[in-house]
Amino acid sequence: MTDNTTRVALVTGGSGGIGRAVVERLARDGFAVGVHYAGNKARADETVAAVTAAGGRAVAVAGDVADEHAMTDAFDAVEREFGGLDVVVNTAGIMLLSPIATLDLADLDRMHRTNIRGTFVVSQQAARRIRSGGAIINFSTSVTRLRFPAYGAYVASKAAVEGMTLILARELRGRDITVNAVAPGPTATPLFLDGKDQTTIDDLAATAPLERLGTPQDIAETVAFLAGPARWINGQTLYANGGLA
Positions marked active-site: 154
- Bridge partners, residue 50, by sequence: none
Cβ pair 238, 222 in contact under 8 A: yes
Residue type, position 113, single letter: R
**150 contacts 205 by C-beta, under 8 angstroms:** no
d(CA 16, CA 91): 10
Using CA atoms, how far apart are residues 196 and 112, in angstroms rounded to an integer?
Answer: 23
Q: How far apart are the first and last CA of the chain?
A: 44
155 - beta bridge partners?
Answer: none
The backbone region for 55, taken as left when phi is positive above 0, alpha when psi lies in -120 to 50, beta otherwise, is: left
- 8 Å CB contact between 188 and 215: yes
- Angle formed at CA 75 by CA 70 and CA 79, multiple of 5 degrees: 145
Map residue 76 onto helix, strand or coil: helix
